[in-house]
Amino acid sequence: MSALKVTNLLDNALTGSGAVTPLNGSKQFNVNVRWGAGTSAGVVAIETAPDKDYAGTWSNLTSFTWASVSTIDTWRGTGPFGAIRARITTTVVTSDKGVYADLWEN
Protein backbone atom coordinates (compact mmCIF):
# COMPACT_ATOMS: atom_id res chain seq x y z
CA MET A 1 0.00 0.00 0.00
CA SER A 2 1.44 3.37 -0.99
CA ALA A 3 1.55 6.41 1.27
CA LEU A 4 -1.05 9.17 1.07
CA LYS A 5 0.30 12.41 -0.39
CA VAL A 6 -1.45 15.80 -0.05
CA THR A 7 -0.58 18.70 -2.38
CA ASN A 8 -1.99 22.23 -2.16
CA LEU A 9 -3.29 23.32 -5.60
CA LEU A 10 -4.85 26.67 -4.62
CA ASP A 11 -4.27 28.71 -1.46
CA ASN A 12 -6.65 31.58 -0.68
CA ALA A 13 -6.84 32.35 -4.41
CA LEU A 14 -9.18 34.67 -6.30
CA THR A 15 -7.95 34.29 -9.91
CA GLY A 16 -5.53 32.28 -12.03
CA SER A 17 -4.13 28.77 -11.99
CA GLY A 18 -2.65 26.98 -9.05
CA ALA A 19 0.35 24.70 -8.87
CA VAL A 20 0.73 22.18 -11.68
CA THR A 21 1.22 18.78 -10.08
CA PRO A 22 2.62 15.72 -11.88
CA LEU A 23 0.74 12.60 -10.81
CA ASN A 24 3.76 10.28 -11.25
CA GLY A 25 1.71 7.16 -11.79
CA SER A 26 -0.87 7.76 -9.06
CA LYS A 27 -4.07 6.02 -10.05
CA GLN A 28 -6.44 7.18 -7.31
CA PHE A 29 -6.84 10.72 -6.16
CA ASN A 30 -9.29 13.13 -4.63
CA VAL A 31 -9.55 16.90 -5.05
CA ASN A 32 -11.20 19.00 -2.33
CA VAL A 33 -12.19 22.58 -3.18
CA ARG A 34 -12.92 24.70 -0.11
CA TRP A 35 -14.77 28.00 -0.48
CA GLY A 36 -13.49 30.42 2.15
CA ALA A 37 -15.46 32.58 4.55
CA GLY A 38 -16.95 35.55 2.74
CA THR A 39 -17.05 34.01 -0.75
CA SER A 40 -20.13 34.67 -2.85
CA ALA A 41 -19.21 33.59 -6.41
CA GLY A 42 -16.61 31.80 -8.49
CA VAL A 43 -15.84 28.70 -10.56
CA VAL A 44 -12.86 26.35 -10.20
CA ALA A 45 -11.96 23.87 -12.96
CA ILE A 46 -9.87 20.75 -12.32
CA GLU A 47 -7.82 20.06 -15.46
CA THR A 48 -5.37 17.47 -16.76
CA ALA A 49 -2.63 17.30 -19.39
CA PRO A 50 -0.12 14.66 -20.52
CA ASP A 51 2.69 16.28 -18.52
CA LYS A 52 3.33 19.27 -16.23
CA ASP A 53 4.96 21.33 -19.02
CA TYR A 54 2.13 20.94 -21.54
CA ALA A 55 1.63 24.30 -23.30
CA GLY A 56 -1.66 23.56 -25.09
CA THR A 57 -5.24 23.62 -23.85
CA TRP A 58 -5.69 21.38 -20.81
CA SER A 59 -8.64 18.97 -20.60
CA ASN A 60 -11.40 19.76 -18.09
CA LEU A 61 -12.07 16.86 -15.68
CA THR A 62 -14.73 18.69 -13.66
CA SER A 63 -15.75 22.18 -12.52
CA PHE A 64 -17.06 23.47 -9.22
CA THR A 65 -19.39 26.48 -9.15
CA TRP A 66 -19.72 28.38 -5.87
CA ALA A 67 -22.94 27.43 -4.10
CA SER A 68 -22.43 28.29 -0.44
CA VAL A 69 -19.90 29.98 1.82
CA SER A 70 -17.53 27.78 3.87
CA THR A 71 -18.31 24.54 2.01
CA ILE A 72 -16.20 21.77 0.47
CA ASP A 73 -16.73 20.29 -3.01
CA THR A 74 -15.05 16.95 -3.78
CA TRP A 75 -14.08 15.11 -6.94
CA ARG A 76 -12.64 11.61 -6.97
CA GLY A 77 -10.63 10.49 -9.97
CA THR A 78 -8.93 7.40 -11.24
CA GLY A 79 -6.03 7.64 -13.64
CA PRO A 80 -3.55 7.48 -14.83
CA PHE A 81 -3.20 11.13 -15.80
CA GLY A 82 0.08 12.93 -16.48
CA ALA A 83 -0.50 16.15 -14.53
CA ILE A 84 -3.34 17.98 -12.78
CA ARG A 85 -4.09 21.58 -11.83
CA ALA A 86 -6.86 23.74 -10.43
CA ARG A 87 -7.73 26.85 -12.45
CA ILE A 88 -10.16 29.59 -11.48
CA THR A 89 -12.31 30.15 -14.57
CA THR A 90 -14.64 32.71 -12.97
CA THR A 91 -13.12 35.14 -10.48
CA VAL A 92 -13.84 34.32 -6.83
CA VAL A 93 -15.80 37.12 -5.18
CA THR A 94 -15.15 37.47 -1.45
CA SER A 95 -15.18 39.85 1.47
CA ASP A 96 -12.71 37.69 3.42
CA LYS A 97 -11.01 34.43 2.33
CA GLY A 98 -10.69 33.04 -1.21
CA VAL A 99 -10.77 29.47 -2.50
CA TYR A 100 -8.48 26.56 -1.58
CA ALA A 101 -7.91 23.25 -3.39
CA ASP A 102 -6.02 20.20 -2.18
CA LEU A 103 -5.05 17.05 -4.09
CA TRP A 104 -4.99 13.80 -2.10
CA GLU A 105 -3.32 10.92 -3.91
CA ASN A 106 -2.00 7.43 -3.29
User: Which pLDDT tens digits describe the chain residue by residue (106 residues)?
Assistant: 456 889 999 999 999 999 899 988 788 889 999 999 999 999 999 999 999 999 999 999 999 999 999 999 999 988 788 999 999 999 999 999 999 999 998 7
Please count the other Cβ atoms lying within 10 Å of the Cβ belonging to residue 75.
15
Name which of 34, 37, 89 is nearest 61 in CA terms: 89
Q: What is the pTM of this model?
A: 0.91
| Three-class secondary structure of residue 74 per DSSP | strand
Q: How many helices (H) and strands (E) does the chain have?
A: 0, 9
- Tell me which DSSP letter residue 68 carries: S
